[in-house]
Structure 1
Amino acid sequence: MKFVSLRFRVTAWSAGFLAIALTISSIAVYVGVRQFLTLSVQRTLRSMSLSIETMFLSQWGRKGESWAVGETRESFSGSADYFVRILHAGTEAYRSTDLRDSALKIASVSLPADDFQGFSRFRTNSGVDVLEYVDHYTAPDGEKFVVITGAALNAMNRVLHSLFLVLLAVCPCVLFLAALAGYVLFTRPLKPVSVLTEQAENIGRGHMGERLPVPATGDELQRLANSLNRMIDRLEEALDHNHRFSADASHELRTPLTIIRGELEQAIQEPGLTVAAMDGIGSALEEIDRMSQIVQSLMAVAYLDSGEQMETVSVQLDRLAASTIEQMQLLAEERDLTLVGESMDCVVVNGNPTRLKQVIVNLVDNAMKYNQSGGTVRVCVMARGNHAVLQVADNGPGIPETSLPFIFDRFYRADKARSRSTGGMGLGLSIVKAICNAHNADISVTSSEGSGTVVTVEFPLAQAISAAPFVYAHANSQAPRL
């Protein structure tokens, strides 16, 4: 379970509101039941008091005290939950027997104040909760009485305690089941969002012009898909403008550069030129060569970024890497470096052999260029799941952490102090990135200062190793150096 996912957050909010609702409803149920039981006891006590007054005490003067007390005893002595006390002329004329709750002794219950009338609730010394009703009654013959009816609330308290335990046990279970059901049920409403996300991730990996499918739901999801498609339109328009500008500018620069180069080559052959003039023309020719390489590289990047389909075949990546390493051994020896191939697993990918070789050449050349004398560059090809992995590692000074996010940008150099001759043009990794994008490959760089750099490229596997024939670069083939 992802604790930052939308489904989890919605479930958490729903469970929180449900918990608040359950808490409030449980309190309301508990208070309501307690109020209902209390009112029921009060109605019973008031009814008992009224019955004693109208049926027996009203006949006190005509039928005598013995009759009234006897009738009261016969009518209420069998009650095991309520007690009755009658006060007449300051003395207790009648007191019912103790309740079945042996902890309550009626004789121990204090008499109310002379002027008190109504309900009172208290706890005896023995710990019994008692609800008592006191009523002052004057008989037709003028006799005054105080009728006290009461009840022990232990039974009601036990009911309320049981209700509290039930609510305490049921509410968390209901909350847990509701949260679990909500988390599961939210899968269906959020499934279109997940599908939309996956489709958005794949847009632009194959070719430009892809759009998100718009569900005809008429809700926020349809509006989101339309908004994303309009945003993709704007981004593609901006990218297309940028690609056209780079391609057009590079193309337009080729002709004047060719003309200038021809004029300078003709001028340097003129007799009578001074040494300074020849040095100046030679320097200009070198800069023209460098600018021609930049233009050629920009045209290559623009072509790759345009999304045009390349000619692809099945290429055995390990043999392509091995042949490239063999060709670059002389360059490594000139720079006092060791270039080795390790873990060359047999893997086949779909791609353009020339462009794939260009990736290996540029990565190895970059690793050698930014290495130290006596260093080592290792090239590794391996199978990992459904991918063919190409790794180029060096033990050079590494790349600063602040530079890692920008190393694939055009004309960017991590080491600003390098000269043009030793630091390149800053387009090598840009071309590698464009080629990887054209092959649906992922490229990543890990580096730490002083420990070297590792560049990893993951290509989708084309097929099983035992599949049809493959293509690889021969030892005498040359990849373009852009």
Structure 2
Amino acid sequence: MNKLSIKRKLLIYNILIQTIILVVLSLSIYKTLHISTLDKIETSLKVIILDIVDDISEHQDNLSEIDFDEEKEYKFKPLYVRLIDKNLKIVKSTTFPDEIPINHKNIKLEIIDFQEYENFIVGEIKFSMLNNPYILQVATNYKILNETMQNLFYILIFIIPIILIFSITGGYFLIYKSFNPIEEILENLREINSTTLSKRLLYSKREDEIDMLAKEINSLLERLEISFDKINQFSSDASHELKTPLTIIRGEIEIALRKDREKEEYKTTLQSCLDEVLIIQQTIDDLLFLAKEESSEKSIHETIYVDELTLEAAKELKPFAKIKNIEIKIQINDIFQIEGHNKLLKIGIKNILKNAIIYSHEASSVTVKNSIENDNFVITIEDKGIGISKEDQTKIFEKFYRTDKSRNKESGGTGLGMSIVEKIAKLHGAKIELESQEKVGTTVKLIFKRDINE
């Protein structure tokens, strides 16, 4: 039973339940009709007995004149009648079955009592006539009852299978019809794999439980597709970006092992490998950040003091700027605060600031400014560097895109910095503005909408 499909189980349960219901119903009808027919026979016998008692009372002086013709009068066949005196002698009788005894016991005066003897129903009454007790017995057999019950039995035997056939056929139709949409869903699901995750289930728009199931499965497939795309993107991005530093590390090690070298040469090789390892580490961290599920509503809830955050970001990058002899200038024109994620916003500011340092000319400066412009909070980072061409400005936020790959490589960048900035800005509801001119410099602005209630 456990190995059967749900459809077949339901069909079997339907057959069993319908059979039990019909059998119980048939037995109930049979029993009810039996009791009803028996009660009808007894009622008829009561009427006949009372009528005969009246006739006897009218002819009590000459009982021989009494003619028990109630069988014809009431058209009740068969009907047996006999009158018994106090000495248990038969005074008057029709052909009466010998199986029915003559008994005075337990018969109350003027009360009709019914007894059953084998195949007969007997109605008896004790009454007084000329100060003598008499007993009147009126009997009939079960022929009427048996014929009625037999007819009913044949009817039920004929009808029950027909009802079962129609019921099972209807149940079969309903069950298989109800399961058709589920089978279609299963068939569609079998066609979905890692290469066809964009496929969705079709539904009838009836807004029933099947449609709700299909919608939930489609929602699940959508989430799986997004997650799968992120995994694929992470894999392809990682393989693309990690290939170069790993090749460099392998080349450096192979060169170092070709022959014995001086101590300083080994140090140089190890330093080069360490630089590449750091690049790999940064690349993996950036890739994991980009692959992480966005949850802006859950993560953005802190109050950020932007002037303090800007100062912290500049302070952390001063050692990096010192390598190129670049000065970081801070201009806090306005003090303001926003709601957001403190750590993420610092990462965004540092990525913009790091790019400004990387692409600035040596011995120049980078300016970080906080201000309120056009009723918006603005963080501005400006450098006097090589600038960005108009063609590159449209691609600057693409992952792994580098405007100057040789310079970026020297700094250990991955080409993911501005992609991360764009994502952080989106999480904070901010807009990024970029202005750049080649050989003059670049200005990047993070613009936050000011709360009108402040």
Is 1:8 matched with 2:8?
A: yes
How far does residue 173 in structure 1 lie from its aligned partner after superposition?
3.9
2:116 paired residue number:
122
Q: What is the match of residue 126 of structure 2?
A: 136
Assess, with a 3 A threshold, how the Cα gap between structure 1 residues 38 and 199 changes in structure 2: closer, same or farther. Answer: same
After superposition, where does 1:48-197 map in structure 2 within 5 Å?
A: 48-54=48-54, 56-61=55-60, 63-67=61-65, 70-72=66-68, 74-76=69-71, 80-90=77-87, 91-98=89-96, 106-117=97-108, 118-124=112-118, 129-139=119-129, 141-197=130-186
Q: Which one of 236, 240, 257 corresponds to residue 251 of structure 1?
A: 240
Q: Share of identical aligned residues, percent?
A: 21
Query: Measured at CA, do residues 231 and 94 of structure 1 come closer, stay the same or move farther in structure 2, by a change above 3 Å?
Result: same
Structure 2 counterpart of 1:264: 253
Residue type of the alignment partner of 1:259: I
Aligned to 1:36: 36
Amino acid at match of 1:89: K
Give the secondary-structure state (helix, strand or coil) at the position aligned to 1:186. helix
Checking the alignment, whether the CA contact within 8 Å between 1:83 and 1:149 is kept in structure 2 is yes
Rounded Cα–Cα distance in structure 1 between residues aligned with 2:105 and 2:261? 142
Q: Cα offset for 1:119?
A: 3.9
Question: What letter matches 2:83 in structure 1?
Answer: I
Equivalents in 1 of 2:113, 2:18: separation in Å? Answer: 39
Using CA pairs under 8 Å that are at least 6 residues apart, name the structure with larger relative contact order, 1 or 2.
1
- 2: CA distance, partners of 1:269 / 1:145: 141
1:120 CA displacement = 3.8
Residue of structure 2 in register with 1:332 after alignment: none
Q: Secondary structure at the match of 1:148?
A: strand
Aligned length, in residue pairs: 263
Q: Secondary structure at the match of 2:18?
A: helix
CA distance in 2, matches of 1:146, 1:183: 64
| Matched letter for residue 107 of structure 2 | F
SS class of match (2:199): coil
Structure 1: stretches of 5+ with no match in the other structure:
99-105, 285-482
Relative to structure 1, the CA distance from residue 245 to residue 121 in structure 2 (aligned partners, 3 Å threshold; closer, same or farther) is: farther
Question: What CA distance in whole angstroms lies between the structure 1 residues aligned with 2:92 and 2:117?
Answer: 22
Checking the alignment, whether the CA contact within 8 Å between 1:196 and 1:212 is kept in structure 2 is yes
Structural RMSD (CA): 3.4
Structure 1 contact 119–131 (Cα < 8 Å) conserved: no
The amino acid of 1:122's aligned partner reads E
Structure 2 alignment gaps of length 5 or more: 274-454
Aligned counterparts of 2:102 and 2:72: Cα–Cα separation in 1: 20
SS of 1:208's partner is coil
1:221 aligns with 2:220: no
Q: Distance in 2 between matches of 1:110 and 1:271?
A: 135
Deviation (angstroms), 1:169: 4.4
Query: In the TM superposition, what is the alpha-carbon distance from 1:93 to its structure 2 partner?
Result: 0.9
Largest Rg, 1 or 2: 2
CA drift of 1:268 comes to 3.1
Please tell me the residue identity of whatever aligns with 1:66.
S
Q: How far, CA to CA, are the matches of 1:77 and 1:8 in structure 2?
A: 61
Report the CA distance shift for 1:207/1:107 in structure 2 as closer, same or farther (over 3 A): closer
What's the secondary structure of 1:94's corresponding residue?
Answer: strand
Q: Secondary structure at the match of 1:217?
A: coil
Q: 2: distance between equivalents of 1:254 and 1:112?
A: 117
Q: Distance in 2 between matches of 1:83 and 1:159?
A: 20
Give the direction of change, closer, same or farther, for the CA distance of 1:109–1:161 in structure 2 (3 Å limit). same
Matching residue's letter, 1:71:
D
The one-letter code of the counterpart of 2:57 is S
Separation in 2, partners of 1:82, 1:136: 19
Cα distance change on mapping 1:259 and 1:53 into 2, 3 Å: same
Kindly state the Cα deviation for residue 272 of structure 1 after the two structures are TM-superposed. Answer: 5.8
CA distance in 2, matches of 1:115, 1:60: 27
How far off is 1:80 after superposition? 4.3
Distance in 2 of aligned mates of 1:4 and 1:30: 37
Residues 75 and 250 (structure 1), Cα distance of their counterparts in 2 relative to 1, 3 Å cut: closer
Find the partner of 1:208 among 174, 182, 197: 197
Q: Classify 1:271/1:3 alpha carbon distance in 2 versus 1 (closer, same or farther; 3 Å).
A: closer
